[in-house]
Structure 1
């Protein structure tokens, strides 16, 4: 049952595609490495409301893909931006399957105002935190706003993610508040919140327990302040224990622990709700 309180520089301007991408039929929501080895051309289909660009990130010291989705039939220029963070072993393309249609439909129906969803490669096992020689969080905080500004796009004022990306969205929300530039909303679908170092250590993402504890959203809930947060997790998901603990401690604006597991079937039910939640809390 739902719980409610109130219910760097570009290498090129368009290095890969100019008209955009959508459909993203092979997307696995960051849960599989299979798609990462396939050429981009086999993973996407062209559409006018999604753009893909390859950009060099100085923070990550490598080239990354940036995918921007805006409502169909509308210009993306100046629209507010919600970051969409991918899951473990995923990438920017893996995180956005279905979202071009869901965003366009919600805007067309008048449920939400127009906004842009932006996904960028954060690394296969980076919990969107700083690792030796690879700082995904600095990319989000320092480089992404510059990239958006150079293209006439709006500022990131919300963040969301799936699995490891949900973990990252909560960390990003904390960092934005700490630097005095808080978000307007955040959303997490099946956030990868583990309750013990024994379990997290198996993922080989953090140097040691101290580093994990310093970053883990479950241990820093107070740093989120009164930010509107939406949380979704299937009650058969492997992260349900940590998600329930987060719901209990954070008292998010909206939380759902409905039937489902950690798979695309559940994510396809939760993501349209996430789009509506984020859009419903944006104000410019």
Structure 2
């Protein structure tokens, strides 16, 4: 059985030391194996202190990069500062004992612009140049970068598994792979199972989210095809529920969360966990 995790953004944004310390035992008591932390701003939470909290609660860790305004590996004026931010993400996940930094590690969420083939190729070249030293740095620290394609309303650059794999193939780094998210795939992929199989052993992370960006399970996503696809490629990494509390002014607008997606945030997490335990019970076992 794959480990199952949940992102702290289900309850809080930004995560802080106090919020994480209170949340970790609750998440563990619900039955989760892993807690994913967004790093909205370095310094929001202390990696050394949170490593103690995670260890005390027996939780694994991953870090999700928050690619907000000013973080862009395709903009020459912002590459250096964005690289510094991603290096910080790598450092903090290593301090937590985790090994994955995930997210749309290319441009700010919400940045869209029209590109012809030449402009897209030039943008891709700049991204490769920006990511190459980061993949090397991640590898040196035992961390893997999982690059996430987003839906067309959040980016005009990398929307599909195929587009993202073009970047990964060119990077040709053992530390660079893909994060697939069922919410985004539901919009952009004609066949989510086929997208999973296309990524294959470069699938480093997986977000299991409902079609409404709430709990997985009570939605129209074809989970009965996704679980076998993950099994077929031998994916044994975590399945993480990524949803968001509407009760903040930062991540909720970026993710277009304008209403509660469950009766309570705890119910969202618990219902999603129960579904994933049933649906993916044999996912990591060989076919």
TM-score normalised by L of structure 1: 0.37
Question: Whose helix fraction is larger, Structure 1's or Structure 2's?
Answer: 2
TM-score normalised by L of structure 2: 0.37
